[in-house]
Every structure is written in structure tokens, then in C-alpha cells.
A and B are shown apart, each in its own frame.
Chain A
């Protein structure tokens, strides 16, 4: 019998040419990089281009597939509510959001143990909590209750939490984040989430929960932070208007060597002139604007028009439609095509105009129609419209909903707003929406299979 004389570490071989995971999350630099890994997801394909549009865009009555009829025709399944639990789009969005939540949890679990500047450490954890809340808010609106993972887990195969539990978790994250996050950053940190961003998102979360008092109180907190509407609705959406007075939560996009761009604007850009021409305004949206509303022609970019910036809009594909989303329009003069059309266009996730409308809606539901009218009229005034004629609670409610539609058009709110306000069944019936089913999208079949049935499907799928 032989006795081993070997050293115990003979079998320990370090990885070559890569950072071993246990060696990461040791320094301040690691913490900063790990938080950047969350931000980079905000402008990813899943979160800002196709999958996002399948769920937040196309199902609404304001957006349709666009491009030319034959291109990516599978997207029509989202317009007509014929998608299934096996559909790639449902699956892609789901996977992406969970990857993003995984990145937030890496920071939330690991960064507190790093020996580094305490203020920065707290801020980075708070940024991650705000972003985790944002991803969960996306998931809960699209899929309903989902499993809650507060930090990294040993076991991820757990049943879905309820919608209420998920909202409570989101609210907790946002409240904790708002306590720590600064309201402003130096120019070098512009694009990091702020206190106002966390509170703004929180007021929207309360709106979805119909917790009117809290939605009202928190939106008032946001208003008190000193935001104001950009007086120029065109400037608001141009590169020059980025991080302006109205910006509450905005993703910084650019095109710098080695860092790439975003396809958010490219997929929507005028077909074969600027971009791919997908996710275009419908005639239903076109007719939703009141006469004299300046937002109409600043939201819809038309074939043949010449923009204020001097670009003549001539599509390069005769089979394409004649209307595109103007809010993502990047004039030729400021475009940097190195990373694709529109790669420099920031993604506006939350604007102060919406905070005013949240405040108005909550106030109206609380019976405070005076405040509701005041806030609503601020938004209307910027659009060159007169004061609302609505005065009663029900008429104001409808007026605010309608204002949300035209103010936030093409910004990913219409479908979830219709579901939230109970209008989806009537507004979307002609598109194929089935009440009791299509308020939520199916949990992807793959996810259900992989869970060995621990995850359950939404009703009707």
C-alpha cells in the first residue's frame, strides 16, 4: 500500500486569463463595474428594442409592427393576441429581466462586504435596489406575480409570489433607495438613478396598486424636488434635451469606441432611411390627439415631411408604411452611425410630465379635483392646449387617462395603462384581446418546464 506524499494543493489550479469569481467583489472598482453591468442592460436588445416592444408596445392600440408587411411578421402575434406560451418573444423578455435582476442581486449581496468608501458603497447598493425594483415592476405588470429573490439564493426554484407581495417588495426597494440616492450627480455620473427617479417610480407603483393616497404623497415629494416641464416638446426628445429639467429616469446612450450603442432608436427609425422602421404609430393614435395639440406632429414622423431639423423624410422601402415614432428621431446632423442609427439617443423611462399626471390621477381619485385639474392643465398647456373642460371626478378621470395616452404615446405605457384602468377589454377587443386572459402574458413554457412545474401558468394559457 502506498502512502501519498503529495502536497494538498496539487489539484488546485487557478483559472488562466480570467478573473475567478471568488476574486471578484473585493475592491471598489469591482463594485463600480458590477453596477455598470446592471446599467448596460437598460439599453440592451431585450430591454429596449424588440422584446420590450412585443410586450409594452405592439399589444396596445397605439403601436403596430411596422417595417414592411413581410419583415418579422411573427410580431403580429402580439398585435393580435395570438402568441402562445412557447413564443420566443415572451421567453426572451422574461430571460432578460431575470438576468438583470441577477446582476442587481450580485451587487446587493456582495458589495456590502467590500472594504471601500462607505458613502459610495451605500449609493451603489441603493442604485441596484432602484434598478431591481424597476425590473420587478416590468415583470409584475407583464407576467403578474413572480418569485421574489432578495439577494443571491441557494435555491431559485420557488413558487410565484403574489402580485401584492411583489409590489410590496418593489415599494420597499424604492423607499430604501430613495433614502440613500442623491438627487443630482456630477457631470461624470449623469445617468445614474436618482432620489427623484426612485420616488417617481414609487409613485407610479402606487398608482398601479390604486393606493391613491401614497401615489399622491410620493408624487408630491417628487414635485417638491424641483423638476419642471421642458417648455419645448421637440427639444425634450432631441439629443440636446437629454437630462433636461423634465428627466426623472433616463438611460444614457452614446456611441464611444469599445462601448457600442443602443438599438432602441434604430429599430424604430424611418424604414431604410434611418433605421428598420418597426413599432410605428397607428391611425387610432393619430386620431386621439385633439385639434391644435402640437404633440401630434412631434410624435408622428410622416413620409414626405421635412423636420424642424431640416431632414426630408423619404422611406427607402416602398412597402413600408408612412408613419414612424418621432420621439426617437435623431437628426442626421447629430447622428453617429458608427454604432447604428440613433445609438446616441437616450431612453426616457420616466418624465416629469408623467409625475404630474400621476399626481393628477391620484388627486382626482382622492376627490381633490382642483389639484387634478391644475396638474393636468400644466401638461396640456405645454402642448398648446387650453384648460380641460372636465370638472367632475369621472370626467376628469377619463381626461387624465386620455392625456396619458397622447402625452406618453409610443413610450411603452399605453397597453399597461389600458389593463391598469380596466379599459383593455373594450379598447383592444377588435385586436383580439380576451378579457380574463390577455391582461397578463404567459409565463414562458420553458421556464415552467425547467421549474418541474413549480412555476404555474397564468389563466387562459
Chain B
């Protein structure tokens, strides 16, 4: 039995009235028949304060099975496969780490009411809650194949996965007409989505002669992300807001976190162009000209469209390592391809804060100077979500590189030292990307705004020079 009490901090500067507790029970069975047939089944029952008493406890089962074909007697006479395994798994899990939102407190109005010139205290309920908020769950299924060739020097792994995230707990917009003070942060089971993809990995360990040992590897993961259910039926636009405009729209069939806004058709170069263009709020020389997608001569909400998503098409990595006598060398590359970043830093600083050099250099500053970048202005009609802020988020990086030299053992034995290795290493020394921000790796912890670069601090590069000594 495992009981955990966590003091979940929601208001850093205040007493948090919303404590959370989690309660779990867990059981597991392992079955292994001669290393050939493997079955693992588990079941857990979880309860969490974060959910309404209607749906507080859930049972989450999981099962996985493997068949090591290479151990079958009929495989004895072949020498192509040194290892061959088929595996599959299915499981459900719950996420108890949600904000407690089924209970709420009253609101006290400090200004009260006056009757006969005397203050009278005022208090009422101003929030709406979802009293039936229930478990957020994931349900994953995968099938995989593991193959070893050449006495397992060459290993290949391939997995197909399909993961459903259901009833994700998130704050969304509730109609303002409810009068709720939390209308833009109504916490509920907001949406569900599916992540489908393929994972492949290849690994080869080899030798050239006696002195040179080497290993190479490569892997790739493809992702197909799609919203399967959303509060309100078809779409919802949660924050962040900038001057009342939202950036992300959760819509059926679209990837989670997709950006939604106007498409920039160019920059107004002169007054004649402004006058000739469709009606557009705040249109001005040097400002963005938006595409009139419905062709009705008016730029409005109906001209917004999906501008990209933070979900990559695929991620990949590869690398190799070498050992030659006392010298060793290793390098790892990693990359992400096909995602878009929303450069919120640029958007919110458009008017009067700091701008990046590229934005300054390429800004419109007179007819013919740019047809992509607008002038620098604090005109809030211009600073609305649009395709200018959506940028390619792909990157390629040297994640790690290391070189080492190990002193010959016989010189050390007399000192009682087993091993001394000198090394020189670098983490993240080089990243190539097109994105106009500090770092293409956004790491925004918000699950809907994951691609919105809102003051994201860049990843640091680390260089190390070191000695390993083993006694």
C-alpha cells in the first residue's frame, strides 16, 4: 500500500487551500515460460483528491506479452537470426497530477455594498466548476519486433504505437455569459487526442582488426497527433491572450497546440494599397496585410486559419563511437523535423520592448523595404496572431561529443590505481535551426501551448575537461 500526500502549490505567495492527496494500490504478475513466452500483467487502483467523488477511484490494468521466437526448437537450425522476438502490450494509466477543480471557494468582495451610508459585507459564488471532473487517462497499444543478426552485433527494433490520451484535464474558456469570474480558466476534462507512430532503431557493434572497436546507431520516431474530442463539440480557444486574442485553437482532427490566426499576404507599401485592400481593423502603411480567405472584402474572424502545429513529423538521432588502443571518441546527433514554433516573444515585444536583430534589420521602414516584416509599432490592431510569428521549428544538434585517453594499465598498477582516463567533452555544442529565437527547443510545460515561445530560456552548451580515476 502506498499513500502519498503532496502539498500541491497553486498560489506561490499565499496559503494554498487546495491540498491534494493520492492513494494507490498495486498488483503485478510475471510469467516466464522457459524464456520463450513472457507475460506481464498488472492492475492498479488509484484515487486522487483532484477528481470529483463521482469518479475518484479508477482501476488501471495493463498487460504485455512477448514471444522469443529464436528460442523455439524450430529455429535451432538457422543462423540468420541470433535473436528474434515479437512483443505487444496494452495498458491504461491515469494521471493524478491535476489541479483540484471540483470544489471552489466563495468570493468575498472587499468593497461591499452601502445601505444608508453604512458598508455591508458582500460575498457570493463567482466561479463555475465542473463538479463531475474525472480521471484523465491514457490507453496505449504497441506491437514490436526485435531482431538480432550476426551474433547480436546488428540489432534492429521496430515498434508501432497508438496512444490515446482521454479526457485531458485543462483550463479552457467557458462562455463569458455564465458570468463566471473564471470563465477563461474553467478546468474540466477538456479534450482527448491520439498519438500514433512508428519507432525504429538500428545498432551495430563491430571491430576492425584487433585495435579498433566501433559502434554506430540510429533511431527515428514518427508522430501523428490528432484531437479526437474537445469540450464544446468542435473547437475551443484557450489562452494565452495577447490584447484579447488567442493563439491556439483546439479543434477536432487537428494536432494539439495548433496555431490559429490570420495569414499574412504581404505588407502595405503605400496608402493606395491600404485603400484598395479589404476592410481590416487598423490597416496602415507598413502594417500586415491579411489574406481575405473568404473573399468577402472584410478581414474578420472568418479569415483565420490553422498556421502550423508544435508536433514534429519526426524526431531522430544517430551517432557512433570508436575505441582505438587507449583513445576513445563518441558523438551523438539529434534532430527534430517538421514542427512549427509560435514566436510569441516577437509578437508581444513588437511595440516597445527589445527586438531581435533579424527583426530590426528586416523591418519595413519605407515603401519597398520589406514585404514580409511589418514596421515596428505598438498598434494593437497589428499585433494579432498571424502567420508571421509562426516559424519552422526544425533543428539538428550535436547533443554530445567526447574524446578520451586512458593511460596504459601497466604504468598504473604500481600506484594501486586501476584506471585513469582524461577526457574532453561538449554537450549541445552546436545546434542548427532557422527559428528566430534563442532556442528551437521550447519546452513549454503547458500541454496546449507547448509550441508557444514565451520567454523560453535557451538550453546551455556545456564543455567539460576531466579525469576519471578508479582505485
Contacts and interface: CB of A to CB of B under 8 A. Distances in A.
A455 B175 CA distance: 10
B309 to A, nearest CB: 19
A374 interface: no
Interface string B4-28: 0000000000011111110101110
Interface stretch (B120-128, B350-358, B365-373, B417-425): B120-128
B104 A21 contact: yes
Interface string B415-437: 00000000000000000000000
Given A10-B3, A450-B173, A30 B123 contact: yes
B179 A105 contact: yes
Interface string A245-277: 000000011101011100000000000000000
Nearest to A15: B17
B394 interface: no
B310 to A, nearest CB: 21
A102 B179 contact: yes
B110 interface: yes
B40 to A, nearest CB: 15
A106 B237 contact: no
Contact of A451 (B111, B175, B179): B175
A147 B177 contact: yes
B234 interface: yes
B301 A2 contact: no
A15 B123 contact: no
A103 B177 contact: no
Contacts of B121: 33, 36
Given A2-B27, A16-B17, A191 B115 contact: yes
Interface centre among A16, A190, A259, A455 (most CB of B within 10 A): A259
A259 B112 contact: yes
A278 interface: no
Nearest to B128: A156
Interface string A298-310: 0000000000000
Contact of A40 (B26, B112, B116, B300): B112
A373 B53 CA distance: 67
Nearest to B27: A1
Interface string B246-263: 100000000000000000
Contacts of A157: 175, 232
B117 A254 contact: yes
A99 B115 contact: no
A154 B338 CA distance: 41
A39 B120 CA distance: 10
A448 interface: yes
Contact of B175 (A12, A33, A190, A447): A447
A190 B116 CA distance: 4
B117 A100 contact: no
B359 interface: no
Interface string A123-153: 0000000000000000000000011010001
Interface stretch (B42-50, B72-80, B201-209): B42-50
Interface string A30-50: 101111111110000000000
A83 to B, nearest CB: 10
B124 A106 contact: yes
A259 B114 CA distance: 8
A224 interface: no
A39 B113 contact: yes
A101 B181 CA distance: 12
Contact of B49 (A11, A186, A189, A450): A11
A10 B21 contact: yes
A191 to B, nearest CB: 5
B176 A4 contact: no
Contacts of A16: 15-17, 19
A460 B111 CA distance: 39
B56 interface: yes
A47 to B, nearest CB: 13
Contact of B233 (A185, A186, A452): A452
B109 A153 contact: no
A33 B234 contact: no
Interface centre among A146, A253, A450 (most CB of B within 10 A): A450
Interface residues of A, number: 77
A174 interface: no
Given A86-B281, A106-B124, A448-B301, A259 B175 contact: no
Contact of A252 (B18, B104, B115): B115
Interface in B146-191: 173-181, 183
A450 B115 contact: no
B48 A102 contact: no
A279 B243 CA distance: 25
A21 B125 contact: yes
A93 to B, nearest CB: 12
A31 B179 CA distance: 19
A19 interface: yes
Contacts of A95: 176, 183
Contact of A19 (B53, B105, B174, B301): B105
Contacts of A225: none
A117 interface: no
A102 B178 contact: yes
B411 to A, nearest CB: 57
Interface centre among B17, B23, B180 (most CB of A within 10 A): B17
Interface centre among B122, B232, B233 (most CB of A within 10 A): B122
Interface string A66-100: 00000000000000000011101001001100111
A77 B416 CA distance: 85
Contacts of A30: 123
B361 interface: no
Contact of A192 (B1, B112, B115): B115
A452 B177 contact: no
Nearest to B21: A11
Contacts of B245: 86
A190 B115 contact: yes
Contacts of A98: 176-179
A94 B129 CA distance: 21
A119 interface: no
A34 B124 CA distance: 5
A445 interface: yes
Nearest to A135: B179
B126 A103 contact: yes
Interface in B101-144: 103-107, 109-129
B89 interface: no
Interface string A428-456: 00000000000000001111111110010
Interface of B: 1, 3, 15-21, 23, 25-27, 43, 45, 47-49, 53, 56, 103-107, 109-129, 173-181, 183, 232-237, 244-246, 281, 300-301
Given A12-B53, A16-B16, A30-B123, 11 more contacts: A2-B26, A4-B23, A11-B23, A21-B104, A34-B124, A39-B114, A105-B179, A149-B177, A153-B178, A445-B301, A447-B175
7 contacts: A24-B123, A36-B112, A36-B122, A38-B124, A39-B113, A156-B128, A260-B110
Ordered nearest first, which 5 A-B pairs have the shortest CB separation? A102-B179, A259-B119, A18-B105, A39-B113, A36-B122
Interface of A: 1-6, 10-13, 15-22, 24-25, 30, 32-40, 84-86, 88, 91, 94-95, 98-103, 105-107, 146-147, 149, 153, 156-157, 185-192, 252-254, 256, 258-260, 444-452, 455
